[in-house]
Amino acid sequence: MPHIHAPGLVLRFDPQTLAAQGATYTGKDDEELTPQQYFVCIEANARDALWVPLFAGPGPGRRGIAAAAKSGQSHWTKSSSFYHSTQLCRIAHKTAQRASEVAYDHSTPKSPNRMDLKQVPTRAEFPDDTAFRPMSCNMAIR
């Protein structure tokens, strides 16, 4: 049974699958996204959701996520996480489901990886809808 995509849900996605399946994003075309990368949902509707890629290390412009804001599997809760407010993805629900399968996301609807809703980045922190373009343009996806 697939997850219900809602703010605060964290899934591990395969970015190549996202790109191949038509996901869009607001990042630069040289932003490196790696296989089995975590993403947090910040907004969802009946067709798709907005997901923020999370990075394991700090970097210029990246904001940290407090360990206390995380719940779920230890691989998620014990690792550090950062996000950048220029990077946002629009992903159809079926594409998200497939990309999480390819990335071997082991969370389940009964035991999801989550971020405390009070700590989830807000939509206002990210570029507006005119900034989205196909993820397949990103040449740095591994």
Is 0.85 topped by the overall pTM? yes
Give the list of residues 6+ apart from residue 97 with CB closer than 8 angstroms, or none: 2, 3
Q: Can you tell me the distance from the alpha carbon of 116 to that of 21, in angstroms, rounded to the nearest whole number? A: 29
Whether the pLDDT of residue 86 is over 80: the answer is: yes
What pLDDT score does 35 carry? 83
User: What are the extents of the domains in the chain?
Assistant: 9-137
Question: Distance (Å, rounded) from C-alpha 55 to C-alpha 39?
Answer: 9
CA atoms 89, 91, 95, 98: torsion sign: positive
How confident is the model over 129-142, as pLDDT tens digits?
A: 999 999 887 666 65
